[in-house]
Copies of this chain bind each other. A is one copy, B any other.
Amino acid sequence: MVSTRPVRFTTLSRDPATSARVGRLETPHGALETPAFMPVGTQATVKGLTPDLVRESGTRMLLANTYHLALRPGEETVRALGGLHAFMGWDGPILTDSGGFQVFSMADRSKITDRGVSFRSHLDGRLLELTPERAVAIQEALGPDVAMCLDHCPALPASREDIAAAVDRTIAWAGRCKRAHSRPDQSLFGIVQGGSVADLRGRCAEALVAMDFDGYAVGGVSVGESREEVRKALEVTTHLLPADRPRYLMGVGRPQDILAAVATGIDLFDCVLPTRNGRNATCFTARGPVKLRNAAHARDPGPIEEGCPCLACRRFSRAYLRHLFNAREMLGPILATIHNLTYLHRLTAAIREAIRAGRLVQLHREVLEALGP
């Protein structure tokens, strides 16, 4: 039976020693192989990069922020301009978050009830409300390939009682999002909450799976807990999620964390790390971060990373990049962002190759050894 879902996932290869898999994700705007990293284009632009530069860095799918775009320019403006793809000139797949995370972290004085979240805009203090139905309506107006359910992500540490309440609300809201969602060319993913509490993660996952979403995200990770807790939360969650749906770990982008999560069966990642670090002159390399502002690079003719095929490494020296950052020139953040995205896309490509070759554990060990302590 051929799936009629707008986003379809096929497993192409499995790692024998872990739960990792190579998959193919088909969307209305093209297909990509997973595990894959999605750069964050918060305000309908990956900061500083033209869409061509985003694509040249290896990006196949990217993320935009519902909260930011609903406030400015407004989802009806984006709809009037033909939707997010046309608006931002990106014809590849797009996923939008639900806006919930920003409402909890950025908006002033947000107040949560079973109905939804009321909050004040961080831009102009307007009083606004985000309900599950409204989160879906905004995302249907924006028009990404994948929309996300509104969830309740509690800050950790939190009591079991608070986490359980957030799980109940997340489950209830997921049901309301599913009923509200009507756009046939858009997929809707559910988000599993539950903090670091195994049975709450399990309850949330099972309830969402029963609702039959097009894909599942693991949310509420990297919000204050230890790496060991993250690993546990992932392990108890992913094996409850159906193998024929994509699994997306929200907000994780450190190379070591991506490798660990892939081993538990995660397919998709997003994080501001490569773009934000790039703007701050910090670059990923196989041997750990390089800080371009360091005086050691003042006359260094070498690239950020030997062998990297990105524009920054092919054409420019560390000395020039350091100069650009010292002189507060835009081209510094632009080139460092290009490098960091290229690094993560090369890492996920190496991960896919390792899974196919049955040597993910070995790759994981090699990467950690090269990165150092």
Contact = CB atoms under 8 A, between A and B. Distances in A.
A326 B45 contact: no
A327 B82 CA distance: 20
A165 to B, nearest CB: 35
B77 A299 contact: yes
Contacts of A324: 43, 45
B51 A315 contact: yes
Contacts of A44: 320, 323
A77 B295 CA distance: 12
A350 interface: no
A299 B80 contact: yes
> Which of A51, A87, A88, A323 has most B Cβ within 10 Å?
A323
A57 to B, nearest CB: 12
B47 A329 contact: yes
Nearest to A311: B50
A16 interface: no
A127 interface: no
B81 A330 contact: no
A288 interface: no
A68 B327 CA distance: 9
A334 interface: yes
Given A43-B329, A45-B329, A327-B43, A81 B50 contact: no
Contacts of A81: 299, 301, 317, 319-320
B316 A89 contact: yes
A200 B191 CA distance: 77
Contacts of A82: 301
Interface string A44-65: 1101111111000000000000
Contacts of A301: 81-82
A331 interface: yes
A298 to B, nearest CB: 7
A43 B324 CA distance: 8
A51 to B, nearest CB: 7
B43 A77 contact: no
Nearest to A43: B327
Contacts of A72: 323, 326-327
Contacts of A53: 50
Nearest to A324: B45
Nearest to A68: B327
Nearest to A88: B320
Q: Which 5 A-B pairs have the closest CB atoms?
A: A48-B330, A89-B315, A43-B327, A73-B323, A45-B331
5 contacts: A43-B323, A44-B320, A50-B331, A77-B299, A82-B301
Given A48-B48, A77-B298, A89-B320, 12 more contacts: A47-B330, A49-B331, A50-B311, A50-B331, A72-B326, A72-B327, A73-B323, A77-B319, A81-B299, A81-B320, A330-B330, A330-B334
